[in-house]
């Protein structure tokens, strides 16, 4: 019996695992991929993320950074052609390296790490949760060799940080995931936009949500977000044409493309922090700041969930799970209120941006 099983080794899962292991709990951290795993992300850490990461994990190693290493902020282009500059120094990192580094720090703190291990479902019992897992045998060159092992683990509590399409959330709350699809292409070429900034475009002619441009190492990254997956290439090509005509984009080659998911924040969206002995954190809880900034709130929620367990669960199996969930909600209330204010503010900047109207 573990004290806590943590599902998903993204920022939410890694910080929760590290904190709880440091508090001497028996912690199992499971990740469905092998590490380092790819995660579609612009890789910008805002100052809040940097502060939390440096406090909890230490200095970020140099090889985790992409070039330019400093992000100077965001330039937001509204639907009515206005430009808003939000200057603030952040970091520009590669998520595969960043998440692996955090995960290894959690392992160093004493948690057990199982990769290639996918959580299928959680069953709540009177004083614990049983988690059903499928584990793939090690990947061979050229792919997975086809063997699967099914097993169960038990814990007093579970923290699910399994991302925007969270299987655990769907099973727990019996609600479908509500996410938007992101599509970005890594190109070689040139453009007359400042590579130090993240450039966001809220014109509904260019995407169903937002479109963006940023630079990482030698790549120009051009992305769009859509609700309807069948339209992602259509909007992407419109956005590329826009960048060609308005910003002199010259695309010499397309090196790779990437599809990702983000929680779909709408005016009636809800944050779900869990049920019973299962707490949800990060994207799995529907936590996301405007312009797809989610690392800071994933870290804050993983941390808040770990602190709630620490305060309410004194290695005592008769703890009331309601107290833990309440404590988690109150730990995170300030962050959630801030997130909602940010979304409202964004909707005042761009008249056609539908969120939070
Ligand atoms: C295109 C794009 C650009 C973005 N850019 C930024 C940015 O620049 N800055 C920023 O702050 N945020 C950005 N975000 C948002 C950010 O990536 C997320 O908000 C953040 O990663 C959420 O962290 P998490 O820990 O909740 O989930 P994730 O980082 O998604 O981690 C979830 C982990 O769970 C694993 N997993 C999933 N299912 C299971 C399962 N059943 N069992 C075991 N493991 C499982 C996954 O493999 C993954 O490793 C971006 C998102 C996208 C899509």
Give residue 61's pLDDT. Answer: 98
- Based on the fold, state whether residues 253 and 289 are members of the same structural domain: no
- Based on the fold, state whether residues 60 and 173 are members of the same structural domain: yes
Residue 313 within a domain: yes
Residue 5 has pLDDT above 90, yes or no: yes
- Whose alpha carbon is nearest atom 29 of ligand 1? 10
- Based on the fold, state whether residues 132 and 192 are members of the same structural domain: no
| Domain end position, chosen among 263, 296, 317 | 263
Residue 22 within a domain: yes
- Based on the fold, state whether residues 53 and 165 are members of the same structural domain: yes
- Based on the fold, state whether residues 331 and 317 are members of the same structural domain: yes
Omega of the bond prior to 107 within 30 degrees of 0, cis? no
Residues in the ligand 1 pocket, defined by CB under 6 Å: 7-13, 30-33, 37, 39-44, 118-119, 161-163, 167, 182, 184, 223, 260, 262, 282-284, 288, 292-296, 298
- Based on the fold, state whether residues 60 and 156 are members of the same structural domain: yes
Residue 142 has pLDDT above 90, yes or no: no
| Domain end position, chosen among 201, 235, 263 | 263
- Residues 43, 48, 50: CA angle, nearest 5 degrees: 55
Residues of the chain above pLDDT 90, percent: 85
Segment 68-77 mean pLDDT:
97
Relative to the CA of 46, which ligand 1 atom is closest? Answer: 11
Segment 184-209 mean pLDDT:
96
Residue 78 within a domain: no
Summarize pLDDT for 80-116 with one digit per residue, the tens. Answer: 889 999 999 999 999 999 999 999 999 999 999 999 9
Query: What are the strands of the beta sheet with 44-45, ordered from one edge?
Result: 44-45, 83-93, 65-77, 197-201, 211-216, 219-226, 179-190, 250-263
Residue 253 within a domain: yes
- Based on the fold, state whether residues 153 and 250 are members of the same structural domain: no
Residue 119 has pLDDT above 70, yes or no: yes
Residue 297 belongs to domain spanning: 2-69+94-177+265-349
- Residues 291, 57, 305: CA angle, nearest 5 degrees: 65
Output the six-digit token pair for 128: 């614990």
Give residue 111's pLDDT. Answer: 97
Give residue 72's pLDDT. Answer: 98
Provide the pLDDT confidence category of residue 357 given band limits of 50, 70 and 90: low
Give residue 268's pLDDT. Answer: 74
Domain of residue 30, CATH code: 3.50.50.60
- Whose alpha carbon is nearest atom 39 of ligand 1? 162
- Based on the fold, state whether residues 238 and 340 are members of the same structural domain: no
Separation between Cα atoms, residue 220 and residue 199, nearest integer Å: 12
- Whose alpha carbon is nearest atom 31 of ligand 1? 10
- Based on the fold, state whether residues 315 and 247 are members of the same structural domain: no
Residue 85 within a domain: no
Q: How far is the CA of 109 from the centre of ligand 1 (A)?
A: 22
Segment 257-261 mean pLDDT:
97
| Domain end position, chosen among 238, 263, 288 | 263
Residue 133 has pLDDT above 90, yes or no: yes
- Based on the fold, state whether residues 15 and 153 are members of the same structural domain: yes
Residue 77 within a domain: no
Give residue 145's pLDDT. Answer: 66
- Whose alpha carbon is nearest atom 52 of ligand 1? 41
Segment 166-170 mean pLDDT:
97
- Based on the fold, state whether residues 142 and 27 are members of the same structural domain: yes
Residue 356 has pLDDT above 70, yes or no: no
- Based on the fold, state whether residues 13 and 57 are members of the same structural domain: yes
Domain of residue 253, CATH code: 3.30.9.10
Backbone φ and ψ of 33, nearest 5°: -100, 170
Segment 330-340 mean pLDDT:
95
Residue 52 within a domain: yes
Give residue 80's pLDDT. Answer: 86
Residue 17 has pLDDT above 90, yes or no: yes
Residues of the chain above pLDDT 70, percent: 95
Residue 218 has pLDDT above 70, yes or no: yes
Q: How many domains does the chain have?
A: 2
Residue 316 within a domain: yes
Segment 292-304 mean pLDDT:
97
> Which of 201-205, 282-286, 338-342, 343-347 shows the lowest mean pLDDT across its residues?
343-347
């Amino acid at each position: 019996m573990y004290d806590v099983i943590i599902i998903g080794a993204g920022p939410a899962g890694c910080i929760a695992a590290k904190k709880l292991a440091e508090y001497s709990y028996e912690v199992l951290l499971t990740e469905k991929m092998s590490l380092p795993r790819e995660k579609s992300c612009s890789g910008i850490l805002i100052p809040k993320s940097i502060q939390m990461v440096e406090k909890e994990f230490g200095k970020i190693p140099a090889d985790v950074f992409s070039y330019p290493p400093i992000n100077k902020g965001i330039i937001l282009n509204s639907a009515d052609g206005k430009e808003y500059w939000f200057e603030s120094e952040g970091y520009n990192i590669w998520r595969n390296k960043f998440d692996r580094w955090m995960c290894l720090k959690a392992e160093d703190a004493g948690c057990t790490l199982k990769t290639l291990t996918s959580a299928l479902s959680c069953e709540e019992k009177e004083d614990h949760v049983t988690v059903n897992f499928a584990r793939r045998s090690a990947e061979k060159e050229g792919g997975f060799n086809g063997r699967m092992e099914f097993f169960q683990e038990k814990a007093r509590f579970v923290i699910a940080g399994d991302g925007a399409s969270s299987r655990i959330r769907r099973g727990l709350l019996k609600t479908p995931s509500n996410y938007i699809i992101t599509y970005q292409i890594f190109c070689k070429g040139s453009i007359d936009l400042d590579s130090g900034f993240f450039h966001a475009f809220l014109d509904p002619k260019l995407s169903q949500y937002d479109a963006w441009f940023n630079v990482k190492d030698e790549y120009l990254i051009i992305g769009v977000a859509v609700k309807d997956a069948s339209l992602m290439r259509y909007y992407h090509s419109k956005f590329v044409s826009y960048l060609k005509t308005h910003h002199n984009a010259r695309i010499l080659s397309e090196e790779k493309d990437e599809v990702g998911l983000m929680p779909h924040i709408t005016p009636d969206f809800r944050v779900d922090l869990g049920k019973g002995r299962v707490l949800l954190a990060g994207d799995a809880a529907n936590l996301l700041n405007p312009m797809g900034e989610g690392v800071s709130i994933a870290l804050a929620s993983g941390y808040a969930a770990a602190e709630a367990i620490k305060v309410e669960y004194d290695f005592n199996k008769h703890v009331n799970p309601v107290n833990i969930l309440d404590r988690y909600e109150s730990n995170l209330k300030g962050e959630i209120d801030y997130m909602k204010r940010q979304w409202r503010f964004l909707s005042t900047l761009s008249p056609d941006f539908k969120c939070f109207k």
